[in-house]
Structure 1
Amino acid sequence: MKDLAGKRLVIVGAGAHVGAALARDASAAGADLVLTGPDLDRLQRTASTLAVAPRVVHADLTDEESIARLAKEAGEFDHLVSTAAMPANGPVRELERAAVERAFAAKVIGPMLLAKHLRPRESMTFFSGVAAWRPAPGRVVMATTNGALAFLVQALAVELAPVRVNAVSPGIVDSGAWDGLGDGKAAFLRDVAERNPVRRVGTTGDLVGAVSYVMTSPYVTGTVLHVDGGARLA
């Protein structure tokens, strides 16, 4: 992230996992940060790990007014990254409309509203996911929202040009998101690694490196960068 020195980044979802790792690496590289998300306590925990104090701003992608306030508090900035996701998993016959709407708010409507209210000088990066290319039972909403986001970044790249708009699409990453599996986590990750062409699962470093690439590559826009170990091909 050496090219981010002196740049200002807005990181949506900086309270946990990949967003927090991105904040730490960007801060270490000399970037000025605005950390935002719906949980101020988690954002403050991330902020406490950084060498330079960031600005912490509450924003909820289901609430347009909070996004408008974020735009005012962020001021002028160079890059926006959103790792936001609100999964609504389960068989389609059992899905609750409210959960589906929250999932779309995080992955599709929220990014549209971020583009409406915030305008970086250089780039916007969103997170899609391998489920769009490898749908599975119980993952209908995840596949659909991630797929919609992949097309959204193309449309935004055209409309917001010359601001560049891209997406990073992770596969299974050992970011802490799977810790809830408890004793079953190791077996789950081992099974994923055995089926992936690269024979391993991803790390937060893989995703931070991918975000850094699309943010700082001036000839890349409207692109989905797959960081899934080839899982969508297996």
Structure 2
Amino acid sequence: MAGQLQDKTVLVVGRGSGIARAVVEAAVAAGAEVVAAGRELPALEAAYADTGVTARRVDLTDEASIAALAEDLGTVDHVVSTASARARAAVSELTPEQLLLSFHTKVVGPIMLAKHFAPRMPEDGSFVFFSGVAALEPDPGFLAVAATNGSVNTVVRSLAVEIAPIRVNAISPGTIDTGAWDGLGDQKKAEMFARRSAANPARRIGTAQDVAHGVLHALTNTFMTGVSIPVDGGQPLV
């Protein structure tokens, strides 16, 4: 991976941990100059202190915030958005506010990133957004997640045509061992991971590093655009 992104600037939107952290580390290892951006700037600055990674603030639900970041950074080569707003609930419990926050964070926000960053990017630049296995695998309690992820898959196809030759792709993770599942509690999380490990063809749960490898592939394969890349261990197959 070393040198694949040498002399490139990569903006990674997300938290200072989990998948976003793994993506930042993979991009740095590949030679990129990395800017990490998110809503909680002090937390990002602490997470990336003494790493050489620049921290900036951005709120994907606020177009003015996105425009200001684009103005501040100027030209970047690649933009990766890992941000999400978890809207896991049965349809009987979902609220419009949950749905709208999910869409603003994973769909509207990335479109605004393209609006404000694409005019400043070189022709060989790219965007990588995040979808997810819920778009392909209906599961009770994941309606809002599925709808959001399905929309991301549509967005990357449309944007890839509209802003070509800048490339636009998505990563679609399956069950990944990050803090996203901690709310289940230790026992329920372990039981779910055991069930899914036994069922999926890869016979294990994914890691943040697995996802980061997929992102790096999307950033560096210059003949790939408009696709959602599964990093899911074959989960939708069973």
TM-score (norm 2): 0.93
Does residue 214 (structure 1) correspond to residue 213 (structure 2)? The answer is no
Q: Quick check: 31-40 or 153-162, which moved more?
A: 31-40
Aligned residues: 232
Whole-Å Cα distance in 2 between the matches of residues 175 and 10 of structure 1? 21
Whole-Å Cα distance in 1 between the matches of residues 180 and 89 of structure 2? 18
- Name structure 2 gaps, 5 residues minimum: none
- Name structure 1 gaps, 5 residues minimum: none
Alignment of 1:19-98 (within 5 A): 19-48=20-49, 50=51, 52=52, 54-98=53-97
Q: Is the 8 A contact 2:26 2:216 kept in 1?
A: no
* Matched residue, 2:168: 165
> Which string of whole-angstrom CA distances, capped at 9 and with x for unpartnered residues, describes residues 89-125 of structure 1?
2121221111111000011111111111112321000
* Matched residue, 1:5: 6
Whole-Å Cα distance in 2 between the matches of residues 193 and 29 of structure 1? 30
Secondary structure of the equivalent of 1:232? helix
Does residue 156 (structure 1) correspond to residue 159 (structure 2)? The answer is yes
Secondary structure of the equivalent of 2:224? coil
RMSD: 1.3
Quote the sequence identity (%): 44
Whole-Å Cα distance in 1 between the matches of residues 74 and 48 of structure 2? 19
Q: Is the 8 A contact 1:14 1:23 kept in 2?
A: no
Q: CA deviation at 1:75?
A: 1.2
Q: Is the 8 A contact 2:107 2:148 kept in 1?
A: yes
Secondary structure of the equivalent of 1:45? helix
Secondary structure of the equivalent of 2:180? coil
Counterpart of 2:180, as a letter, is A
Q: CA deviation at 1:178?
A: 2.2
Q: CA deviation at 1:49?
A: 5.8
Q: Is the 8 A contact 2:133 2:173 kept in 1?
A: yes
Whole-Å Cα distance in 1 between the matches of residues 98 and 183 of structure 2? 20
Secondary structure of the equivalent of 1:118? helix
Secondary structure of the equivalent of 1:226? strand
The list of structure 1 runs, each at least 4 consecutive aligned residues, that deviate by more than 6 angstroms after superposition, is: none
Q: CA deviation at 1:145?
A: 0.5
